[in-house]
Structure formats: C-alpha cells, structure tokens
C-alpha cells in the first residue's frame, strides 16, 4: 500500500468524531424550498484512493443534492463538445463575488468570469446543449457521471429541479441578461431547465468520490477526458471552485475542490485520492461548513497538498 495513505482510517475516525461533536454546523440553504428541510445533523465522508480502495465514514451512503458540484461534470462535457472555443464565452478568473452575483456581467459584456459561478455554469450548460434537447443533454450528463462512478444507480430528483424552477429568479435574471448580450444560444427557459435538472442530480459521498476519480490523474482510473484537460479542470476548481471562498479554501485545504449548496464538496488530491464530503450546513460563502473543516483536517493529517 501507498505509505502516504497509512493511517487513513484512523484519521477518518477522528474527523467523524470532530464532526459529531461540532456545535456550529452552519445554515442549510433555504432559497431552494425543496432543500430547506434537509436535516443539518448529517455528515458523510468518502475517500477513493489511487490503489483502488475506498474508505468511508458517517452518512456516506445517504444521497444528497449535488447542486454546483455538477458544474465540474458539465464543464467536462462542454469542453468535450466545443474544446477551447468554450473560452470565448466564459472566463477563467476567480470572481471574488457570491456564486449567484450579477455584478460583473454588465461590465464584462455578458461574459461570466468563470465556469463555476452560476452565470458561467449557465453558459456552459447552454454550450453543452449545442442544438440538442435538454433531455438528450441530461442523458449524456447522467451517462458521464455513471461511467465515472461505475455505478448506474445515480438519478435526478425532479422535485428539487421543479422547486428551483419555480423560485430561481436570480438565475433567470442572469440567463436573460446574458441572452441580451448574445451569450446564450437557447431560450433562457430551455437552458435553465437543463441547468436546474443538472443541479438536482443526487449522489452519495461514496458515489461522488468514485465519480471524481477521473480527475485524479492516476493510472487505472476511469479516463473520461485527456490528462491536459484534467489539469486545467483542477486548476479552475482550485481558483474558482468555492466562489468568494476559493482563496480561503486553497489556503486551508490546499487542494482543488468544488462545492454545492446541498452541502457537498468534491476534493481532488492529484495522483492520490478523490474525496467527497457532505454536511448540509453552509458557511457565509455558501460552502459546507463542516465539510470544509473535515477536508482541511484530512489534507493536513495526510499531508496532501498541491503545494508540496
């Protein structure tokens, strides 16, 4: 076994104990009504290692709404379809603003800062649609995620998608604004229908950790995109994956990660591990509070960092 992974199970046990003892779990997102009722007491963590083993603790087999973690899979699909032409429509800079901010769009002619803020992810989904019906795109997305996880039991929660369709006025505003600037090919309703369903994919930590293995850049892992693209997606996760909390996440954890308002985070330790953590309570930037603390402890105790 990799000497770098000895002691992992003991570390996971300590992290679970710390999570269970925590008295400040953050706040569950309630702007999507269907997610407001999720029990904040839950915590799951799963680690898929380069040696093929998987180690999980807590509620690692409870499905949750992956929300913005889906933006990683959507980006991989859109890059597969368009290649570097995608970068004419979306930037690669951290925004320093909230995930749902509209501020920069006016100054930057409807070109969002990066593919992980909502505006950027809506453009990515619009590009990935590329003349296909939302149903076809969502089928491709599920095929991609299932192939990555090597698990067919991964589905979209229609009630969550419907709930967000009824209340997602900010996302409609973003989409219409970009359409006005010519940066949306499809009618906003169509692109957002696909986007809301993409965000409503449900997975367990165990499934998500496995689905992230294609980003590890390790031999023997599912190879769904080129090695070059894997590096670039990781770079974007590190710099933009936690919105205006990206710098702090890089400082504390030192690994590429993508969060979602469902409380999930996918974290990649290149060459070593794919990690999924879930705790529904969020911090002020909309990223899982205990999830961040857990992967901070994991990275430190295991000595995992992209900074050596």
Active site residue 195: yes
Sheet holding 257-259, edge to edge: 54-58, 44-49, 273-278, 264-269, 257-259
DSSP state of 87: G
Question: Which of 11, 28, 65, 71 does the annotation list as catalytic?
Answer: 71
Residue 261 counted as an annotated binding residue: yes
Q: Which residue number is nearest to ligand GLN in terms of Cβ?
A: 68
Q: Which of 88, 106, 87, 84 is nearest to 97 (CA)?
A: 106
Question: Which of 46, 243, 246, 288 does the annotation list as catalytic?
Answer: 243
Smaller CB distance to ligand GLN: residue 67 or 234? 67
Structure tokens belonging to residue 141: 């997305």
Residue 186 counted as an annotated binding residue: no
Write the burial class of residue 128 (CB in 10 Å: 0-12 exposed, 13-18 middle, 19+ buried).
buried
Q: How far is the CB of 278 from ligand GLN (least distance, A)?
A: 13
Q: How far is the CB of 264 from ligand GLN (least distance, A)?
A: 9
SS3 state at 85: helix
Question: Which of 57, 123, 261, 267 does the annotation list as catalytic?
Answer: 261
> Cα torsion for 72, 49, 42, 287, to the nearest 10°?
-40
d(C-alpha 304, C-alpha 302), whole Å? 5
Residue 114 counted as an annotated binding residue: no
Question: Which of 195, 267, 279, 295 does the annotation list as catalytic?
Answer: 195
Write the burial class of residue 237 (CB in 10 Å: 0-12 exposed, 13-18 middle, 19+ buried).
buried
Q: How far is the CB of 177 from ligand GLN (least distance, A)?
A: 15
- What's the sign of the alpha-carbon dihedral 162, 73, 84, 130? negative
Active site residue 258: no
Smaller CB distance to ligand GLN: residue 18 or 102? 102
d(C-alpha 24, C-alpha 19), whole Å? 10
Residue 287 counted as an annotated binding residue: no
Smaller CB distance to ligand GLN: residue 107 or 169? 169
Q: Site residues (CB under 6 A) for ligand GLN?
A: 67-68, 99-100, 118, 164, 171, 199, 260-261, 286
Residue 164 counted as an annotated binding residue: yes
Smaller CB distance to ligand GLN: residue 141 or 218? 141
Active site residue 71: yes
Listed in sequence order, the residues at least 6 apart from 51 whose beta carbon sits closer than 8 Å to its beta carbon are: 1, 2, 5
Smaller CB distance to ligand GLN: residue 280 or 286? 286
Q: How far is the CB of 195 from ligand GLN (least distance, A)?
A: 7
Q: How far is the CB of 81 from ligand GLN (least distance, A)?
A: 21
Active site residue 261: yes
The catalytic residue positions are: 68, 71, 195, 243, 261
Which residues make up each annotated binding site for substrate?
68, 118, 164, 171, 195, 243, 261
Which residues make up each annotated binding site?
68, 118, 164, 171, 195, 243, 261
């Amino acid at each position: 076994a990799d000497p770098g992974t000895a002691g992992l199970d003991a570390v996971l046990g300590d992290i679970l104990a710390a999570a269970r003892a925590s008295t400040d779990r953050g706040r569950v997102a309630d702007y999507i009504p269907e997610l407001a009722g999720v029990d904040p007491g839950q915590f799951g963590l799963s680690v898929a290692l380069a040696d093929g083993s998987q180690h999980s603790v807590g509620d690692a087999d409870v499905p949750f709404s992956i929300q913005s973690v889906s933006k990683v899979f959507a980006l991989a699909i859109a890059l597969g379809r368009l290649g570097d032409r995608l970068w004419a429509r979306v930037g690669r800079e951290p925004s320093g603003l909230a995930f749902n901010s509209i501020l920069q769009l006016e100054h930057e002619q409807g070109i969002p800062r990066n593919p992980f803020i909502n505006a950027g992810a809506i453009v990515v989904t619009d590009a990935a649609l590329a003349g296909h019906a939302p149903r076809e795109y969502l089928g491709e997305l599920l095929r991609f995620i299932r192939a990555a996880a090597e698990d067919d039991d991964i589905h979209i929660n229609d009630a969550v998608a419907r709930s967000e369709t009824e209340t997602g006025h900010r996302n409609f505003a973003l989409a219409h604004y970009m359409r006005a600037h010519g940066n949306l090919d499809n009618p906003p309703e169509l692109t957002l229908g696909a986007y809301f369903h993409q965000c409503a994919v449900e997975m367990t930590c165990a499934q998500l950790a496995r689905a992230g293995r294609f980003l590890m850049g390790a031999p023997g892992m599912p190879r769904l995109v080129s090695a070059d693209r894997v590096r670039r997606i990781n770079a974007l996760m590190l710099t933009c994956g936690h919105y205006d909390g990206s710098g702090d996440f890089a400082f504390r954890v030192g690994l590429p990660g993508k969060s979602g308002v469902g409380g999930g985070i996918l974290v990649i330790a290149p060459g070593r591990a794919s990690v999924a953590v879930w705790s529904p309570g969020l911090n002020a930037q909309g990223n899982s509070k205990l999830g961040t603390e857990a992967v901070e402890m994991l990275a430190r105790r295991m000595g995992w960092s992209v900074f050596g």
